[in-house]
Amino acid sequence: MSKQVRTRFAPSPTGYLHVGGLRTALFNYLYARHHGGSFVLRIEDTDQTRYVEGATEQLIESLKWAGLSYDEGPDVGGDYGPYVQSQRLGIYREHAEKLLASGDAYYCFCTPEELEAMRERQISRGEQPMYDGTCRSLTTEEVQKKLDEGIPHVIRLKMPREGETVVEDVIRGTVRFQNELVDDQILIKSDGFPTYHLANVVDDHLMEITHVIRGEEWLQSVPKHLQLYKAFGWEPPVMAHIPLLLNPDRSKLSKRQGDVSVEDYREKGYLPQALVNFVALLGWNPGTDEEFFTLEELVQQFSLERVHKAGAVFDINKLNWMNGHYIRQLSEDELVSFLTPFLEKAGADVSDAEKTRKIILAVYKKIERGIDVYDAASIFYKETLEVVEKEAVEILTQETTCTVLRNFLQKLDTVDTLSMDNFKELMKTVQQETGIKGPALWKPMRVALTGMVSGPELPAVIEIFGKEKVSRFIRQMVEEYC
């Protein structure tokens, strides 16, 4: 490429980071890193009515958690700052004045009531609602008179009324828009703040952004943006509009059908490497059947040419499966560090660090999310046993089960402590004396100790329970089922 690649992620601080925003940030990050370029974070806070206190800090924290480091941004600085749009208002005003002077923009004094009446008339005639250009034809004298009188106003872009605007998009190909159907976009609002459209174009140019990679919902706005580039005499960046994220029913991914924020997934115990890997595959694939990628591997393989046009379905079951895989890849120390807080938050006593470690190592292979760990480990925190599984109840009511359990209790009374080694010896003696072996011998023990047909490995259960709890649970089962 002739000049260094520069991409940007430009979220609005209106709440938590949406997983769609994470994917947009990721694609920008991957493209910049793949080409040895720069990845920029810019905060677009010009819509003050939607601004949420603390959202910028939360966005930054989420990006850092995901491992998406940026080269320039509000908290790290750079040569093209400020990187917060509300700190750049003078720059936008200056550029709006240039558009007014060149005749590419105009003052509009229409009131909200007039605009609403205009909209209703257009809808009643079956027309597309858009500004009808009432103030386009005001003379210089009429404009100045209204300005002198202090009449509230906005500044609008003067779109051409004829011809078409042709958009070349890396993902969408050639897209054509009829100019007569493109609105005269507001550029400066009545409060003096710019709209997304002006601030976005000005900042992308001044920050020398070479590639704009964003959601397809912005594709309809590109004709307005290209008109601004043309009016300023600037070369537009390369455009790439990535597909929407969809629910399984192919509706747009929304809070109504489940979690959508990165923070939601983080709180439920999804690992950053799992979430990043998962969203990378939403709309992109490497051309192989490979599904697991480190961030470095994604950097090496990513290309915009392999991003699909069609919407990408957000399959939570696949994310859970992928997260379970990544949990099982953690070292023992990492597992304990990651899962202990979830046990504690669920009410488990984690004061005995060594016991907590043993419990986590006994159950981690069975879970897919951090919040699943307490349910998987609950047997270790219960003082009595409740058997609800139908198959488990059937095992407990088999005639040979009571023989095994009673015989084991007799043998248990002959030892002072219980370890995995002498547990095996006791079970061997039970087998020899009763003639019961295989599943008929071991399944009753598992169910009597855990209440489940499958669960933590018996050696771990024995070691963590100790003699007293093993004895108590088996006696309870004998009393209830024998």
Return d(Cα 254, Cα 256) in angstroms, integer: 5
Pairing verdict, β 105-108 and 6-9: unpaired
Return d(Cα 361, Cα 204) in angstroms, integer: 50
Extract the tokens encoding 331: 């070292």
Return d(Cα 399, Cα 397) in angstroms, integer: 6
Return d(Cα 79, Cα 451) in angstroms, integer: 63
- Report whether 39 contacts 71 (CB < 8 A): yes
Exposure class string for 239-264: b at 16+ Cβ within 10 A, else e: bbbbbbbbbeeeeebeeeeebbbbee
Tokens 């992308």 belong to 204
Q: What is the DSSP letter of 438?
A: T
Alpha-helical runs (H) found in 6-66: 19-34, 55-65
Could you tell me the CA-to-CA distances from 248 to 181, 242, 280, 448 in Å, in that order? 33, 18, 18, 41
Amino acid, res. 55 = A
Amino acid, res. 353 = A
Exposure class string for 449-468: b at 16+ Cβ within 10 A, else e: bbbbeebbebebbbbbbebe
Helix axes 399-412 and 439-450, enclosed angle (nearest 10):
70
255 is catalytic: yes
- Report whether 32 contacts 235 (CB < 8 A): no
Question: Containing H/E element for 13?
Answer: none
| Nearest Cα to Cα of residue 59 among 46, 68, 48, 47 | 68
| Given 252, 255, 309, 424, the catalytic residue | 255
- Report whether 99 contacts 157 (CB < 8 A): yes
For the CA atoms of the chain, what is the radius of gyration?
32
CB count, 10 Å around CB of 79?
8
Return d(Cα 379, Cα 368) in angstroms, integer: 18
Residues with catalytic roles: 255
